[in-house]
Amino acid sequence: MRVLVTGGAGYIGSVSAEVLLREGHDVVVLDDLSTGHRAAVPEGASLEVGSYGETTAVDDLFARQAFDAILHCAARSLVGESVRDPARYYRDNVAGGIALLEAARGHGVKRFVFSSTASVYGTPRETPIREDADLRPINPYGETKRTFEGALAWYAEAYGFRSVSLRYFNAAGASEALGEDHRPETHLIPIVLRAAMAGDEVTVFGDDYRTPDGTCIRDYIHVLDLARAHLLALEATAPDDPRTGKPAEPAAALVCNLGSGRGYSVREVLTAAERTIGRLIAQRVGPRRAGDPPVLVASSDRAREVLGWTARQDSLEAMIDSAWAWQRRHPEGYAE
Ligand code: UDP
């Protein structure tokens, strides 16, 4: 396959591109480098610097190069920022995403895998969360991802788009070459590891939740497992694949959670990180962070049954060990 990976200079996009290349596919990365890093684009992929929402430039890219499929990882993805500045999220995640879809439609590229999020569920009523749970996002980030998933469903029916939306839970860990370098960093595991390296203190956002140790529980998934799921999802969009359209029926938009199905609390993450690095990490308890549901754990039944995917590296240790190894090799991140 020849795949256009938007956001391929970011954390999940770059590791997914790396896995696609390793499996023998051709990859073109489209990234405006606003949050991604040139150095994260894996060797063997070509980089087009630009935004997926720039209609003329994207149209020109499709005219110059033929693609079998699009892996759309690029997006704005900070929950807090989305609450303060929803316009940016609607503009980039929704309007920009539709511009990309329209360019793809104009050039007959109708295979699409989309980076969605567990945030589409909001605060779930039941856990583990199944894909047919109610979608009630509690912030513009989740809302804009839900809106784009909806567009894919209608594009399937009307225009024959075959798509898979992957609802990520908490991506963690690193490959040999590629790791997590967000600025600002908001995610627990890199924050903990950076604090450990710098001798800083970690703030636990609330320890009075109704969970066994009072801290929030999340479903962490190794970024390499996540990347492998993208490959399987792309395969499921093949023109004759019944998972995204049965013969004589309209094409279909498939939705799959990606989580390991196991939850770990913030305290468990800290303890596991202390084991990995071999010393205690300074920590204090602060107030709850707005918008944090107490427990988010995926049911991964559908990904297993439909995509044939399972998390291979589902131990917290494997994720933290690989993240720590990457961080020690890249103390300044990608340092551009
Ligand atoms: N968290 C924390 N301290 C931090 C960063 C995160 O206690 O410095 C908590 C956060 O409140 C959540 C969990 O760690 O309960 C995972 O947060 P993260 O931002 O990594 O992922 P999210 O679940 O928000 O996607």
What torsion, rounded to 10 degrees, do the Cα atoms 208, 212, 215, 218 define?
-140
213 and 105, same structural domain? no
201: CATH: 3.90.25.10
pLDDT of the residue at 248: 85
Residues ≥6 apart with Cβ < 8 Å to 67: 2, 3, 4, 28, 109
The answer to whether the CB of 104 falls within 8 A of the CB of 113 is no
- 313 in the same domain as 211: yes
Same domain, 19 and 156: yes
Interval between CA 92 and ligand 1 midpoint (Å): 24
Q: Which of 208, 217, 220, 266 to mutate to test the pocket of ligand 1 (most atoms within 8 A of CB)?
A: 266
Residues 65 and 188 in one domain: no
Q: Looking at 257, 285, 317, which one is the last position of a domain?
A: 257
Q: Is residue 267 in some structural domain?
A: yes
Report if residue 213 sits inside a domain. Answer: yes
**pLDDT at 242 (0 to 100):** 95
- What is the domain count for the chain? 2
Model pLDDT, residue 73: 98
Q: pLDDT at position 335, please?
A: 81
Which segments in the chain show pLDDT lower than 50?
A: none
Distance 62 CA to ligand 1 centre (A): 38
**Residue 51: which of 3, 95, 12, 16 has the closest Cα?**
95
For residue 99, the model assigns a pLDDT of 98
Q: Whose CA is nearest to atom 15 of ligand 1?
A: 216
Q: Indicate whether 241 belongs to any domain.
A: yes
Q: Quick one: 156 and 187 in the same domain?
A: no
**How much is the pLDDT for 160?**
96
**Residue 199 forms part of a structural domain:** yes
Distance 304 CA to ligand 1 centre (A): 26
Domain that holds residue 202: 173-218+261-329
Residue type, 39: A
pLDDT at res. 75? 98
CATH of the domain at 89: 3.40.50.720
Residue 115 sits in the same domain as residue 187 = no
The ligand 1 atom nearest the CA atom of 189: 20
- Of the residues 257, 286, 306, which one is the last residue of a structural domain? 257
| 204 in the same domain as 92 | no
Same domain, 88 and 229: yes
Same domain, 137 and 199: no
Final residue belonging to a domain, choices 257, 284, 308: 257
Looking at the structure, do residues 105 and 83 belong to the same domain, yes or no? Answer: yes
- What's the 65 CA to ligand 1 centre distance in angstroms? 40
Write out pLDDT tens, residues 184-213.
999 999 999 999 999 999 999 999 999 999
- 334 in a structural domain: no
Indicate whether residue 203 lines ligand 1 (CB < 6 A): yes
Helices (H), 23-139: 55-64, 79-84, 86-89, 97-106
Ligand 1 atom at shortest distance from the alpha carbon of 288: 11
20 and 62, same domain (yes or no): yes
Is residue 335 in a domain?
no
Residue type, 49: V
Are residues 139 and 239 both part of a single domain? Answer: yes
Residue 270 lies in a domain: yes
* Domain assignment present for 336: no
Which is the catalytic residue, given 52, 141, 168, 264? 141
Give yes or no: 141 in active site: yes
Residues 6+ away with beta carbon under 8 Å from 208: 214, 288
